[in-house]
Amino acid sequence: CFIKNRLPRRTTMFKNVFGSGFLVRTAHVILTWVVTLILFLYNTDLRKQEETGQLIQPVVFVFLVLVSVLLYFAVSLMDPGFILSDDSNLQFTLGVTEEQQDMIPPSTKSLRQRRCGHCLLQQPMRSKHCQACQHCVRRYDHHCPWIENCVGERNHRWFVLYLAVQLLVLLWGMHIAWTGLSHAHSWHLWLRTNGVLLAVAVLLALLSLIVLLLLCSHLYLISLNITTWEFMSRHRISYLKHCGADENPFDRGTLQNLWSFFCLWGTVVWEQVYFREDSDQV
């Protein structure tokens, strides 16, 4: 039931770097490299290895930091799946023939083509209008203020990859900061000596916890093939109201859900997946 094709490119792949969210992105990048610089300036294992010519770990750490920054810009600037034009023949262009459409019988799962009340475009199933971005987004998950962009069909897997790399960098950075803490004869002297590294370690620990919770929650929802929006607002979503409390019409099993999310690219006709049980009976 997963019919995939690439939609016509009606938009550029990435948004303007200097558009909305420029200050947030700039603050993120500055904070990232300031913390990295501090880890090199203080007497941490990272600096000791650099001074002794053991460059493998310092180079790998800087490389991971760079990858995390690049992934951050990718997910924050990438088109998450904006719907910018009304296509009444979308089902046919994505592989649903007229004959297949006629095979979908009317049932308790009634399908209504909705028009967005804001941009007045026809919304495919699992899409939602984002008030912050002022666009409807395919397979909308949520709007993330951290990246100042929506997480949707096109950038969701990149967002999860970014969280994984960012978590690795944060945990490693926290360990490096811990190795730089030195002993002192009094608490006052210890705080003066280690205050900056201690603040960095606390900041990294807090961010690590946030990113860990985000990553775990996204992986859990992905394994169920449900979005954050659907999970939080199930009672308000028309195509889920007819389903039982524990019923998910998009669930194909944990392994299949993970495989489809990470390994299959393109656009899914969620209407066809939604009606697969009824279609199989015809």
* Within-domain flag for 188: no
| Domain count along the chain | 1
In a domain, 32, yes or no: yes
Name the token pair of 162. 């970014």
In this structure, what token pair is assigned to residue 88?
A: 């009444």
pLDDT of residue 19: 62
Distance from C-alpha of 22 to C-alpha of 276, rounded to nearest angstrom: 43
Asked if 144 is an active-site residue, the reply is yes
0.75 surpassed by pTM: yes
What is the predicted pLDDT for the residue at 184? 79
Q: What is d(CA 281, CA 109) in angstroms, rounded to the nearest whole number?
A: 14
Residue 99 located in a structural domain: no
Query: What per-residue confidence (pLDDT) applies to 93?
Result: 39
The DSSP secondary-structure symbol of 243 reads S
Q: Domain for residue 6, yes or no?
A: no
Q: Judge contact between 122 and 86, C-beta under 8 A.
A: yes
The one-letter amino acid at 256: Q
**74 within 8 A of 155, measured Cβ to Cβ:** yes
Please pick, among 144, 150, 243, 263, the residue that the annotation labels catalytic.
144
Helix or strand run (H / E) with residue 69:
helix 56-77
Domain that includes residue 214, residue range:
20-86+114-181+194-280
pLDDT computed for residue 248 by the predictor:
87
End-to-end CA distance of the chain: 14
Q: For residues 34 and 41, what is the distance between their CA atoms, to the nearest angstrom?
A: 10
**Helix or strand or coil: residue 150?**
strand
175 inside domain: yes
Per-residue model confidence as pLDDT tens for the chain (282 residues) = 444 444 444 444 556 666 667 899 999 999 999 999 999 999 999 999 988 889 999 999 999 999 999 999 999 999 999 988 775 444 433 444 444 444 444 444 445 567 887 787 888 889 999 988 888 999 999 999 999 999 999 999 999 999 999 999 999 999 999 999 988 788 888 888 889 999 999 999 999 999 999 999 999 999 999 999 999 988 888 888 777 777 888 999 999 999 999 998 888 888 887 876 544 433
